[in-house]
Amino acid sequence: MRVAQDTVVSIEYTLKDDQGNILDASDGRGPLEYLQGFQNIIPGLEQGLLGLGAGDTKTVTVPPALGYGEYSDKLLQRVPLDAFGGHAVQPGMRFRADTNQGMRTLTIKAIEGQEAVLDGNHELAGKTLHFDVKVVAVRAAEPTELAHGHPHQTGGCCGGGGCGSGESEGGCCSTEASAGGCCSTEGSEGGCCSTEQPAAEKQGGCGSAGCGCG
Ligand SMILES: [Zn+2]
């Protein structure tokens, strides 16, 4: 079977920037599993994998427009330090907040005087992404997977790393599936139950889709 719409694809990958620095890799986390054609992963990578079969390898280069978008100064905003309610803030800290663009992960880019400069760009925005990918497996999706828009197997709902939106409270990691499921698999370290999100993955996989899967 080859990668096509409505197939569940399992990949190993290493992601590098233009300079060859490794930004992310599936090593240690286990393969990333996603449902092709459901925006589980960035469009450029999905397109690049079309037609490949298990065992195939490919380097897929993804421009920002098909990855995490161009870097936008409009996503910078200044907030008085008072707004952090006395919490110590430092450049590099990240948190999720409701913005006029919806829920976003914001990074504190700088502290200037009594203000914090917040950056709502994805950390990979503006970057051309180079994925070295190996296709581990391809199979037809189950009807329930198509209905939910994400894959279900190996370790339960979250086993494939379909989670990790950082909003998992009450979500994927607290469901019945997690007993012996997502939180107990080897893959969950740095995966579903942490706020670290595989870079290949778009936000809102399993976690925001409910993932109770019942
Ligand atoms: Zn589901």
Determine the average pLDDT of the residues in 97-121. Answer: 89
Judge if 132 and 38 occupy the same domain: yes
Whether residue 165 is predicted with pLDDT greater than 90 in this model: the reply is: no
β-partners of residue 132 are 14, 59
Q: Is residue 206 part of a domain?
A: no
166 and 132 co-located in one domain: yes
Q: For residues 78 and 127, what is the distance between their CA atoms, to the nearest angstrom?
A: 24
Give the SS3 label for residue 198. Answer: coil
Higher pLDDT: 14 or 175? It is: 14
Strand partners, 62: 129
Give yes or no: residues 11 and 113 share one domain.
no
My answer on whether 63 and 169 are in the same domain is: yes
Q: Which of 66-70, 156-160, 200-204 has the lowest mean pLDDT?
A: 156-160
| Residue 106, domain CATH | 2.40.10.330
Residues 18, 111 within the same domain = no
pLDDT for res 109: 94
* Lowest-confidence region among 2-6, 48-52, 70-74, 93-97: 93-97
CATH code for the domain in which residue 175 is found = 3.10.50.40
- The dihedral through the CA atoms of 52, 57, 58, 62 has a sign that is positive
Same domain, 147 and 182: yes
Question: Are 95 and 172 members of one domain?
Answer: no
Secondary structure string (H, E, C) spanning 135-158: EEEEEECCHHHHHHCCCCCCCCCC
How distant, in Å, are the alpha carbons of 3, 40, 56, 128, 173 from that of 139? 8, 16, 14, 29, 25
Q: Domain for residue 204, yes or no?
A: no
Could you tell me if residue 201 is inside a domain? no
Going from the Cα of 173 to the center of ligand 1, the distance in angstroms, rounded, reads 12
In this predicted structure, the answer to whether residue 209 has a pLDDT above a threshold of 60 is no
For the chain, what is the domain count? Answer: 2
Of 51, 13, 58, 4, which is closest to residue 32 (Cα–Cα)?
13
Q: How far is CA 26 from CA 14, 110, 113, in A?
A: 7, 30, 40
| Helix H or strand E encompassing 23 | strand 22-25
Residues 172 and 130 in one domain: yes
pLDDT-derived band at 115 (thresholds 50, 70, 90) equals very high
Residue 16's SS3 state is strand
Residue range 72-79: average pLDDT?
Answer: 92
**Section 80-95 average pLDDT:** 89
The pLDDT value given to residue 4: 98
CA of 112 to the centre of ligand 1 (A): 44
Q: How many CA atoms lie less than 13 Å away from 36 in the CB half-sphere?
A: 25
The rounded Å distance from CA 38 to ligand 1 centre is 13
* Residue whose entry in the numeric block shows the structure tokens 């992601």: 15
| Residue type for position 178 | S
The answer to whether residue 200 sits within a structural domain is no
- Whether 90 and 138 share a structural domain: no
Q: For position 169, what pLDDT does the model report?
A: 33
The answer to whether residue 208 sits within a structural domain is: no
Would you say residue 51 lies in a domain? yes
Residue 133 Cα, ligand 1 centroid: separation in angstroms?
25
Domain boundaries, position 23: 7-67+126-188
| Shared-domain flag, residues 105 and 134 | no
| Å from CA of 208 to ligand 1 middle | 10
